[in-house]
Chains A and B, each alone.
Chain A
């Protein structure tokens, strides 16, 4: 039996990636593109995903569309230039009002099944424009999207994806901080054209099967 006890930990090593199908779960760290912020829009009836991945000196931003969230995420892969998009450390999620209506049906299941992301990700609903435009505007202004959204987080705990999904099911409605893009060049002529900053824009009220409503203050 001592022999078996020796073999036991050796076989356990199989569970850490020696099998051919297990190996696909592992990527060299230099080939990973860790996504920090992910934005969801609905454009022409299709889901549009925009990811922002800050790197050394520059931020990589990718956008793709698909009929479903999973399809749109899959369509992002070819644009990643051989790198593997890495969602487990996503810090923020931006949702357009149309995308927010698909929170329960598509976005949460994608996070739980494919994204392997945490579920306690702070969520912001866009009051105007698209997530893609805001992320591009922040990038043009040289701002890190994650830090810009972190600065917006209310003093109390931000509302997370998990809390939104839970409240929508339990009480039939949920409140979420709203965000809007402010044009920088209106205040700073030196700012690049299209550069945006993130601004607090009140709160969004989500209800299943209903359009998102916005309020200025938390009721």
Chain B
């Protein structure tokens, strides 16, 4: 037992908490942009298959690596030169994802809670918090995730469940079959969106955990996406949801508890700070570990690579390159699923995975 490896439960908690931040920000908007319309709620259901497969992929990749992270797994499966090269690519990609997460978190805060503010204070504070989390002992970060998880689940229940009675079934009715192919394609969008925090697999963990735990973590993200899409589309309709920025966060403005308490959207939005924090910390830790593995052969001396990754992510988020954000879905799918599936296949052929 030491502070530099996570338990299986901590790793899964970090993965789940980090994943819900992009899920709530991008759904159902990303599905509506694809033309899924009223059928957008189908996408998270269809995504249960690729999400389940993703869970199995990560479980399978980590099984022969007790006490290690995926960076070592890449080197083991692909050999040192290729594994180190791919680790470096993953480190760079984690920085890009972290920058995107910082930027979108800041913009969400400006829209939902502080409309007269710029993004700068949020970028600075969140990158500083993420760096602190990433530089500390991984076990502590994991314990924080375990402690926050029940409170966040309670918060999600308070946000989503009161929206269920307001759902109009008419808004969820699929008018024709033309919207089903975009919805089916949208299942990959859901998988992609939920997979940003899969970088938690790069953090060293003592044990892999049971296969059904990995399946459950990934599939529960799909079910959360379904609930989110159903509440948003059922109350606003597909057309209006597609036009509004952050439609779910707009719905929070109208939330009332027992006709006694209202206008609590700022408090509810504040809990998303935790999800942003965990995602940032996981991505910076993963970037630092991957870079340290390339430089030193193991991930022990990761302080300066992590600091450098944090500075790079902050700089990118500050510059806000829209063209780069446009590449995120494709790049994520290619690297996280294409790259890792290929790694597993090569590892199996070489009989090391």
Contacts and interface: CB of A to CB of B under 8 A. Distances in A.
Is B one of A's binding partners? yes
Interface residues of B, number: 36
A210 interface: no
Given A24-B116, A89-B263, A170-B237, A14 B121 contact: yes
A215 to B, nearest CB: 23
Given A4-B132, A15-B273, A112-B245, A25 B114 contact: yes
Interface stretch (B14-22, B59-67, B122-130, B157-165): B122-130
Interface string B120-146: 111001001100110011001000100
Interface in B245-275: 245, 250, 253-254, 262-263, 270, 273
Given A4-B136, A14-B121, A14-B125, A114 B109 contact: no
Interface in A77-127: 88-89, 112-114, 116-120
B120 A21 contact: yes
Contacts of B136: 1, 4
B236 A162 contact: yes
Nearest to B115: A116
Chain B contact surface mostly: helix
Interface residues of A, number: 29
Interface string A176-190: 000000000000000
B169 interface: no
A120 B121 contact: no
A165 B240 contact: yes
A22 interface: yes
A119 B250 contact: yes
A119 B111 CA distance: 15
Nearest to B144: A5
A25 B115 contact: yes
Contacts of A166: 171, 236-237, 239-240
A11 B115 contact: no
Interface of A: 1, 4-5, 7-8, 11-12, 14-15, 19, 21-22, 24-25, 88-89, 112-114, 116-120, 162, 165-166, 169-170
Interface of B: 109, 111, 113-118, 120-122, 125, 128-129, 132-133, 136-137, 140, 144, 170-171, 236-237, 239-240, 243-245, 250, 253-254, 262-263, 270, 273
